[in-house]
Amino acid sequence: MSQFSSGFWDLYIGILTVVSILACAVLLWQQSVQKASGTETSGHVWDEDIKEFNHPLPRWWMWLFYLTIVWGIAYLALYPGLGSYAGALGWSQLRQLDEENQAAQKAYGPLYDRFAAQDVESLAKNAEALAVGQKLFLNHCAQCHASDGGGSRGFPNLTDRDWLWGGTPEAIKASITDGRTGAMPPFGPVLGEQGVKDVAHYVLSLSGGAHDSIRAARGKEKFAQTCAACHGAEGKGNPAVGAPDLTDRIWLHGAGEEAVAAQVAKGRVNQMPAHKDLLSPARIHLLTAYVYSLSRK
């Protein structure tokens, strides 16, 4: 990929852009100095008698083209557009975003600071705070967890009380601030095909799901050897490492023998991004209160 980050491409794009603009100007100039008779045809004929004549372009049309060329040159001189050239005004999207964030902080900062002085449980009952928290959620969380917090396959439901990493205000705030990475190793090479099915049936039996009792009996010992370290001897899970509770009927990646066996055999890595570089501590505090409120309705 180094060839795409070299200075050659900046120069290439800049030259190509300038040459294209100049070529348009030259073409227009040629059309203005070459006088067309208005009676010559281009040689194109349709339906035997419909001919295309070589009429000159209208003057107002040509001057409009010239104005667009002048406008394009002025734009490229003032704004980015020629490779890495930043433009005379020094404008950039990042700079504009930073200015907009500063303006928003100046306008709404006092509001967030007022909420920051209250604890999460109180804010979870404050209609005004929840209205603001919902907007933060829709902008930063709904893409994965859905607009109502109900989640989808592979993305946790935030409206129940089944928490992978804990549902306390402190745990939720830590998840939003620093993100989470949950990793389950693949046990297919260790257990083999039949061993994977045995463990899957034992896991299904923990929540009272449909299972083969003989396979489940064989899978119990294998579960203790390979899975209990994270999920616990009884399969109750461990919020310290994000290991889900296997005794309820809540399945993040699907239920049934096929889905559970795939989990055991292939493993899974789930990641929630950290938001500490996107949101201020006051906004994270308010967002925590909103997420906390979803499971308290």
Chosen CATH of 182-272 out of 3.40.640.10, 1.10.760.10, 1.10.1060.10, 3.30.70.20: 1.10.760.10
| pLDDT(34) > 80 | no
The ranges assigned to domains in the chain are 2-78, 94-179+275-294, 182-272
| pLDDT(70) > 70 | yes
Give the predicted TM-score (pTM) of the model. Answer: 0.71
| pLDDT(1) > 60 | no
| pLDDT(62) > 50 | yes
pLDDT band at 82 (very low <50, low <70, confident <90, very high): confident
Q: For residue 237, what pLDDT is reported?
A: 94
pLDDT band at 94 (very low <50, low <70, confident <90, very high): confident
The Cα–Cα gap between 19 and 42 comes to 28
| pLDDT(99) > 70 | yes
% the chain with pLDDT above 70: 96
The Cα–Cα gap between 114 and 285 comes to 11
- The per-residue pLDDT for range 221-241, each reduced to its tens digit, is 999 999 999 999 999 999 999
Average pLDDT of span 191-208: 96
If you write DSSP's letter for every residue of 50-92 in order, what string do you get?
A: EEEE-PPPPHHHHHHHHHHHHHHHHHHHHSS-STT---TT---
- Token digits of residue 274: 């950290």
- Domain 94-179+275-294 falls under CATH 1.20.140.160: no
pLDDT band at 5 (very low <50, low <70, confident <90, very high): low
- The per-residue pLDDT for range 275-297, each reduced to its tens digit, is 999 999 999 999 999 999 999 87
Largest CA distance in the chain: 96
Q: For residue 208, what pLDDT is reported?
A: 94
Q: For residue 119, what pLDDT is reported?
A: 95
Q: Which ranges of 117-187 does DSSP label H, i.e. alpha helix?
A: 120-123, 127-140, 142-145, 169-178
| pLDDT(129) > 80 | yes
pLDDT band at 134 (very low <50, low <70, confident <90, very high): very high
Identify the three-state secondary structure at position 269: strand
